[in-house]
Amino acid sequence: MIVAYETAADWREPKAMDSAFNALSWDDQCVKAALPEYLASSGTDRAKVDTAFNAMIPKPAEAIDPKQAMMHTWMKARLFSYNKSFPFQM
């Protein structure tokens, strides 16, 4: 959905942007629980999440908007929850 949002933004399609934003897994309880932990994290765990995220989304958005920033943070919290359950091997 992050890529769909970015593509819709490139094409200046606000309805498609909203659709992609709303389609993200905002109701996922595992991610909700991991979000404050991710935001408070540092060191190795945070670095692993950042590395995994950068592998998935290799180029930073040129003009990141608030919704896009929220999506990026949500995805990083999801990766943090995965790393917590199944540690990344890097």
Break the chain into its structural domains and give their ranges.
Answer: 27-85
Any idea which of 5-9, 44-48, 59-63, 72-76 has the lowest mean pLDDT?
A: 59-63
pLDDT in tens, 16-67: 999 999 999 999 999 999 999 999 998 998 999 999 999 998 776 667 889 9
Nearest to 77, CA basis, from 45, 44, 21, 89: 45
Token pair belonging to 75: 């995805």
Q: What pTM does this model have?
A: 0.88
State the pLDDT at residue 90. Answer: 78
Angle between helices 14-22 and 2-10 (to 10 degrees): 170
State the pLDDT at residue 61. Answer: 62
